[in-house]
Amino acid sequence: MQVAVDRKENEITAAPTLLESIDLNGAIIIGDAMHTQRNISVEIVEAGGDFIWTVKGNQARTEWAIKKLFANEIANLKQERPLSKQFQQGFDKTNKRHGRIEKRSIMVSQSLNTYLDWPHVAQVFRLEREVWHDQGQRKTTQVVYGLTSLSPDKASPEQLIKLLRKYWGIENELHYRRDITLGEDATRTVVGNTGHNLAIINNLVVSLSLMNGLKI
């Protein structure tokens, strides 16, 4: 589901309007750093849902605290010290896609639940994604930090990896199909809600095609 966003507006202010229009009971809402807002977190949990947010510079204090927490533990692991009791680790199976080998690992902790002053936070996480390109000749590493209202009994480290991998996979597939195959990125639609309507139509085309096994 989508909501029309005024050109002077952005996704932060549009998100609450969208959330009010859907049933959040039992839902897990996953979003990038732009959606990492306290009021949105409260709205989701009070409606019976949970959230998983990535954290970047728009929440500077939160990002700093999470990075510092995991930096100390990563340093200990590099010195071959055992994992501290307040941390848990999880690993995703190695995936081979489009000539690349991908490996994901995650570290989670409840140590910052009270320090962060973030409503309903139950865990923070550090997810590392390693990708080997060109038959292993070149390697890239991406690290993502985040927080979630899902407690360890609701989501283990491995389950968090799967949820995030599924979310990013859907996002990448959708944007690729819309921008490359349907040429949405090259279409300049700025009159009224034309851009919004085009996105809805393209999403529908992509979704129906994928559901029916068509390659577009």
Structure confidence by residue, pLDDT tens digits, 40-72: 999 999 999 999 999 998 899 999 999 999 998
**Per residue in 161-206, pLDDT tens?**
999 888 777 655 554 444 544 454 444 444 444 444 444 444 444 4
Domain boundaries, the chain: 11-154
By the 10 Å C-beta count (0-12 exposed, 13-18 middle, 19+ buried), 54 is classed as: buried
What tokens were used for 135?
């038959």
Q: Are strands 50-54 and 138-148 parallel, antiparallel or unpaired?
A: antiparallel
Is residue 208's pLDDT more than 90? Answer: no
Average pLDDT across the chain, whole number: 77
Looking at residue 21, its pLDDT comes to: 67
Cβ neighbours of residue 141 under 8 Å, at least 6 residues apart? Answer: 128, 129, 130, 131
**Per residue in 6-29, pLDDT tens?**
444 455 555 666 677 678 899 888
